[in-house]
Every structure is written in C-alpha cells, then in structure tokens.
Structure 1
Amino acid sequence: MKNQMIFQRYEFKYLMTCRQQQAILNAMEPYMVPDGYSHSSIRNLYLDTPSFQLIRRSLEKPVYKEKIRIRSYGRAEDTDSVFVELKKKYRSVVYKRRISMPQDQALACVAGKACWPDSQIGRELAYAADFYAPLCPAVFLSYERDAFRGVEDPEFRVTFDGEIRYRQQDLTLACDPWGTSLLPAGYVLMELKAAGSIPLWMVRTLSEQGIFQTSFSKYGTAYRDMLLANEKGGRKYA
C-alpha cells in the first residue's frame, strides 16, 4: 500500500481495548493476512494555515472536507523521499491522492519556494496549497500501525494504530516520535477500509464484542487537545 498513489474507499473507525483487539485478531485469522508492510512507524506533518483553517472546518463536519499532510514510514531525513498527500472526504467516501518527493523539496513546494511536480496530482496539490496559502507544518503526529488485508478481497484492509502522539515542536519527520499521547492507556484505534460493504464475519464480531463505530480524527483530536492546553495557559487559537 505504500506504493499506491490513489485511493477511493470507505473508512470506519473503532476505539477499543487491547482485549477487544485480541478478539478481533482471533476472528480475523481465517480471513485476513498481514499486509505487504505489516508494521509501520508512521510519521505525519499536518499542514494548515496560521489560524488552523483546515482542521477547524473539518471539525464542523461539512459534506466535503480535506486535509493536506506530509507522511513518511519511519525516520526521514531532508533528502529522503516522503509522500505529500491530499486527503478528501465527500459524503462518507474517502479519496486520497499523493506523490513522492524528497522532504526538503516537499517543504519548499509548500512554502512556495519551489514548483510542484508537473503531474495531475502535483497540480491538485499546487491548487490546494495556493487556495489555503499560507500553509505550513502545524502538527507532528505519529503512531505505530499493524496492517492486514483480506485473503479473498485484498481491497478490504484492517489497521490497528497505537502509541498515537502529537507535538507542535520539532516539526520534521527526521526526529523521534515523541509527544503528547492521544489514546488512553491500553487502547488502540482500529480502522476498516473497504471499497464496498464490510464482511459479515467482521460485523458479527464487532457486535459480539460490543465495539461501536466512533468518530476519531487524529489531527482533530490533537487540535482539541491543543485548544484545551492553551486555554489553561491563557492563550487561545483563532
């Protein structure tokens, strides 16, 4: 999945305990296998305006919303390749388009100091960066991910994200993933990603375990936490 550049699918999120996760893993055994990149240390730089326009609008739950981020799978130095992603959601369908380039080039494109690649996705990113200008890295957000795909339907994927952390300092993908934790101790976030419906065996397992779909935006949760922390400190974001 790391080499895939265009995605269109439904995504469903579930917050669960490690005990519930194990029950899901047991139920998955006949139907799922580890993805090609079964474990990843994912690091993101979420891009936003100085007033956090993108995430504030996203939290209003509009019909259409989008996020822009730079992602790596592990530590990425300035000249290492990273992904620049434009993630859109329209009427519950998630569309993700991305390109790969060196991290320093990606940051230069975001800052308007370099031209975006002359490709369809490059032009889409250029338009978004210009529309929301000025954009800059707003939050570093990392997590450890275990990924699985369906045996009969490889488009059906299950991921478990743990150790979700964010910070507003050291906004580079070259630093270690330290920061404020976004999950209670002993919890993980599961995401189901499917082009169509969820398999019945998974629906049945979720019901048996009392696991219900939740709305959990990693960047959105980090932003709310930032608001709370800064209000306590006497400072408020716009």
Structure 2
Amino acid sequence: MSGFKDTFQRYETKYLLEDFQYRALRERLEGMAQVDDYGKTSILNIYYDTPDFSLIKRSLEKPVYKEKLRLRTYGIPEDDTRAFIEIKKKYKGIVYKRRIGMKYRDAISYLNEGEAAKEQSQISNEIDYFKNYYKGLGPAMAISYDRIAMAGIEDKELRITFDENIRWRVDHLDLKRGNVGNDILKPGQRLMELKIAGAMSVEMAHILDEIGIRQTSFSKYGRGYVDYMYPEGVKPAVNYENNSNGKIILTA
C-alpha cells in the first residue's frame, strides 16, 4: 500500500468510548478532522513473544522503556499481499515505530522459518537483532480489529483512530483467517487513539472534557494476554487499570 511511512515518532493517548460518546465526538470533529482515504479497514496483527510471554508481561508492568514486534496486514492477505513487520517502542511516553514491508508469504518465512529478509536495511538489521536477543521468539497471539482513521484538516499532524470488534486468539496464527477470535470490548465500545507530534490542542482538550472522555491505559495485546491467562470465571490477581502505583503485577 502506498503512502505508508517506515518510521514514526509521536505521542499516543488512548480513550475507551461508549457508543454515545463516540457519536457525540464524531459530530464535534466535523471541520477539524476527516476520515482518511482508506475508510474503514480491518487491521490484522500477529504479536511475537517468548514462550513465557516475557515481552507482554514486562510491558504490563509499565516500565520506562518497552518494545514489541508484530506482523501486520491491512485486510485479509493473500500470499502476495504487502505486509509490514514492525518494531514498536515506547520510551517516556513517546512512541517510536519502525517497519519494513514485504509480501506476506516472505514475511512468514522471515519471521517463522528463519529465512533472511530479501531486502536488507537498517530496520531489517534492527529486527534481526530483536529476533536474536529474545530467545525462542515466535508467533504468540493474533490481535485484530476494524478501524476508522481520521486525519486533521488544518493540523496535518493530527491523527485519530477508532477501533471496534477488537479480538484475540492464540490458535491458527495466520492472518488469512481474518478478524476472528475472542472479543475484548463490550458491545458498542470503541477504543480511540489520539496520535499527535506534540501537545494536545486546547480545542481538542475542551471537546473531550465536555463529552466526559477520559484518558485510559489500554494495550490490545495486554488485554488479550490477561483474558487468555485468566479465563472467564477465574478472578485474576491483578487490577488492570487502577493499580495504586500505576503498575500491573501478574501472578499465577
């Protein structure tokens, strides 16, 4: 897909919206942001982790620095569909994302079967280092969702995304299966991400405050992992969102 950047550096804040908040916000955003050229898109991901899920467990503890590796496609892929392999890092609240693109079948061969990347680059070298550093790294969980993305009309750096039908699964880790799995959100809920280069505008802050939209801590992979480790009917020994010290400690 054309028009995709290979590197990003930005602040990303997340908000969990009920349906009435989403509809009110969409009305208020008219004239400020518009849906991008891709419209509504299914985003499919496979997250890579160690056999004991060390990457996501560390991430949920909210360290100063954390990183993830994932394979992503936009829509259900065929073998020749362009896929993206991404390293996503977060340091002191700033998100850094670096990625390379290749055919889906080549990405699977590279990540799952140990073949070399067909095109070498600085980013592919970073991915190689990541794969070698985390021993036993392999496909751990599929995370998929339907997204509407909006871009600022005057503020070209503003990007807002709304995700619904967020699902996870740990079996059949092939993106050709599409957006199937276990639901993370309740019916009608959406996860909004506000992606900006610097500080939020005063206008946007006022809009969110008036509608009662509050920032939250939310990791799709993290939620999927917690649901997987603590299935329905088993009370987890963890308070995911409201730990007194802001951290999440998972205990078996």
**What is the TM-score of this pair, normalised by structure 2?**
0.88
SS of residue paired to 2:176: coil
Matched, 1:23 2:24: yes
SS of residue paired to 2:175: coil
Matched, 1:64 2:65: yes
The letter of the residue matching 1:216 is F
Which residues of structure 2 form unaligned runs of 5+? Answer: 235-249
**C-alpha spacing 1:64/1:227, structure 2 compared with 1 (3 Å):** same
Residue 139 of structure 2, aligned match among 134, 137, 151: 137
Distance 1:55 1:168 in 2: 14
Provide, for residues 147-197 of structure 1, a one-character-per-residue CA deviation record: whole Å limited to 9, x for no partner: 111111111101100000111111011113111100011110000000011
Match of 1:157 in 2: 159
Residue 193 of structure 1, aligned match among 180, 190, 195: 195
Detail structure 1 runs of 4+ shifted over 3 Å in the superposition: none
- Give aligned-pair identity as a percent: 45
Match of 1:7 in 2: 8
- Contact 2:71/2:85, CA 8 A, preserved across alignment: yes
**Count of matched residue pairs:** 235
Distance 1:215 1:14 in 2: 8
Match of 2:111 in 1: 110
**What is the TM-score of this pair, normalised by structure 1?**
0.93
Provide, for residues 8-33 of structure 1, a one-character-per-residue CA deviation record: whole Å limited to 9, x for no partner: 00000000111101111111101111
Provide, for residues 30-83 of structure 1, a one-character-per-residue CA deviation record: whole Å limited to 9, x for no partner: 111111322210000011111111101101111000010000000112332200
RMSD of aligned residue pairs (Cα, Å)? 1.9
Range with bigger deviation, 144-153 or 223-232? 223-232
Match of 2:54 in 1: 53
**C-alpha spacing 1:135/1:104, structure 2 compared with 1 (3 Å):** farther
- Contact 2:44/2:178, CA 8 A, preserved across alignment: no
SS of residue paired to 1:33: strand
Residue 98 of structure 1, CA deviation: 0.5
Residue 222 of structure 1, CA deviation: 0.4
- Contact 1:32/1:149, CA 8 A, preserved across alignment: yes
Range with bigger deviation, 212-221 or 130-139? 130-139
Match of 2:34 in 1: 33
Match of 1:90 in 2: 91
Which residues of structure 1 form unaligned runs of 5+? Answer: none
Match of 2:246 in 1: none
Residue 231 of structure 1, CA deviation: 9.2
